[in-house]
Amino acid sequence: MPTIALLIITFSTAVIGLFIPIRYGNRFAFISSLVVFIYSLYLFVTFPISADYQYVVDYPWIQSLGIHFKIGIDGISILLIMLTTFLTPLIIFSVRKSEPRPRAFYSLLLFMEMALIGVFVSMDGFLFYIFWEIALIPIYFICLLWGGRDRVRITLKFFIYTITGSLFMLVALIYLYLHTPVQHSFDIQALYAAGKSLSARAQSILFWFFVLAFGIKMPIFPLHTWQPDTYTDAPTQGTMMLSGIMLKMGIYGLIRWMIPMLPLGLSQNAEYVMWLSVIGIIYAGIIAFTQKDMKRLLAYSSIAHVGLIAAGIFAFNMQGLQGGVIQMLSHGVNIVGLFFIVDIIQSRTGTRELPSLGGIRLKAPYLATVFAIIMLGAVALPLTDGFPGEFLLISGVFQYENIAGAVAALTIILGAVYMFRTYQNSMLGETSLETDNFTDLTAAEKAVLIPIVIMVILIGVYPNLFLKVSEPAIMKLLSGI
């Protein structure tokens, strides 16, 4: 029941939010997303450390086709639900009062939260696909209606890119479905069994179909070309949603759906994807270093981080997968914090170009401190949230293949280079014309950033709080193949 409650609360508040008087729109959306967070926190705290799905709900939906409304939560999904419900209130709270058409904006954000939770709890292939696609609609409208100058072209590109991947995934899912025993079924276990029974060749083809779908969403090099434009042009909250939570859909899809289904496809092709991911790490790291626009820089840094996560997952061992899971959390927390800081800078100075910034530390010590902590998290300093994830991921990749591990480890250096450069150019040095009248964080902005800072340190100091939850599920995943 708790799983359904999460979906129902988010969906109904999204609908009600459309009709609330505008004055209360913000408060309503924030409080309702906070309620969802508290509820999922309760679920997390009481979550049994077990490899099995909890709170499973199973209703027949389209019985004649073996499609069920089957949802449940296991150790991996609870962490992603936590991430989603933790970030959504912050994202909603970070919306500026001046935003036009606020009610629709909040409703779309809440609707998106529903779809994301749906993706993370689905235990039926068809249901998963539906939620996967539904998540695209609100973010499309968020980018289209509140985005930057070139938004029409860019959001259409984004939409067509992602739906291309999705449709190939649909074909793959149908193919697997038709290989389940008669009275076909979309149940996750049935699909696992069907996938494993296929020949190595068929598995390889399906493997690439899935990689296309999930790889575009994440994105893996060379499927990333939609991403920097979209992140740059989307409104800040849209970018936060995309980078903080939505790209985790792709990673989650790999772990939950693709890998257990296609073990032969994985063993034959993982190496290629691994190398693509590693190339992506280096490539995005180098490009990030040359960016002047802070949002674009963060977009490329996100490609680099996701590349490492993907490499760890395709290494397919305990370290790689656990690292991937914990890194999903910390990347979500960091990137949302960083994008919010960019938004703050942009709203104060009217620019996010590094050369015209500088010296903000002198005017806004709070902001500089918070930025420093989150940035250290992003460059994976020990005791911040980036460290356990990156450490595990690199050791996972290293076990799989030494050279790939060595190349992937360069991300530590590259990450430090471009992040420190960003910090230096924006916070340190002399103030510029734009930053001369910079004011420090307001109470509302602190309210968003302080929880993020707490999470940065909490995950860094005590990662086991989260790792122990996902461990049984990942053990089961590894032993299943």
Positions in the binding site for another protein (CB under 8 A): 61-65, 129-130, 133-134, 136-137, 141, 144-145, 151-152, 156, 159-160, 163-164, 167-168, 170-171, 174-175, 177-178
- Residue closer to another protein, measured from CB, 41 or 65: 65
- Residue closer to another protein, measured from CB, 156 or 372: 156
Strand, coil or helix: 198: coil
**Least separation in angstroms between CB 303 and another protein:** 24
- Residue closer to another protein, measured from CB, 163 or 475: 163
- Residue closer to another protein, measured from CB, 62 or 372: 62
The answer to whether the beta carbons of residues 68 and 124 sit under 8 Å apart is: yes
The secondary structure element, H or E, covering residue 72 is: strand 67-73
Residue 179 identity? H
**Least separation in angstroms between CB 95 and another protein:** 19
**Least separation in angstroms between CB 129 and another protein:** 7
**Least separation in angstroms between CB 47 and another protein:** 29
**Least separation in angstroms between CB 10 and another protein:** 15
The secondary structure element, H or E, covering residue 187 is: none
Calpha distance 40→52 (Å, rounded): 18
**Least separation in angstroms between CB 141 and another protein:** 7
**Paired tokens of 247:** 């790209």
Rg (CA), the chain: 21
- Residue closer to another protein, measured from CB, 91 or 169: 169
- Residue closer to another protein, measured from CB, 179 or 421: 179
**Least separation in angstroms between CB 126 and another protein:** 8
Positive or negative, the CA dihedral 334, 106, 34, 58 is negative
**Least separation in angstroms between CB 411 and another protein:** 33
Calpha distance 86→452 (Å, rounded): 9
Tokens 């015209």: give the residue.
Answer: 356
- Residue closer to another protein, measured from CB, 19 or 443: 19
The answer to whether the beta carbons of residues 85 and 36 sit under 8 Å apart is: yes
Tokens 């539904």: give the residue.
Answer: 134
- Residue closer to another protein, measured from CB, 174 or 279: 174
**Least separation in angstroms between CB 14 and another protein:** 14
- Residue closer to another protein, measured from CB, 177 or 387: 177
DSSP for 242-294 reads IIIIIHHHHHHHIIIIIHHH-HHHHHHHHHHHHHHHHHHHHHHHHHHHH--BH
**Paired tokens of 56:** 């499973």
DSSP 383: T
**Paired tokens of 118:** 């749906």
**Least separation in angstroms between CB 65 and another protein:** 8
Query: How far apart, in Å, are the Cα atoms of 421 and each of 36, 104, 183, 370, 433?
Result: 38, 38, 59, 16, 20
Chain centroid, CA 328 distance in Å = 6
Q: Which of 372, 444, 459, 462 is nearest to 89 (CA)?
A: 444
- Residue closer to another protein, measured from CB, 17 or 244: 17
Chain centroid, CA 466 distance in Å = 16
**Paired tokens of 421:** 């450069």
Tokens 């496809």: give the residue.
Answer: 265
**Least separation in angstroms between CB 48 and another protein:** 32
- Residue closer to another protein, measured from CB, 133 or 440: 133
The β-bridge partners of 73 are 54
Tokens 């068809």: give the residue.
Answer: 126
**Paired tokens of 431:** 């103030």
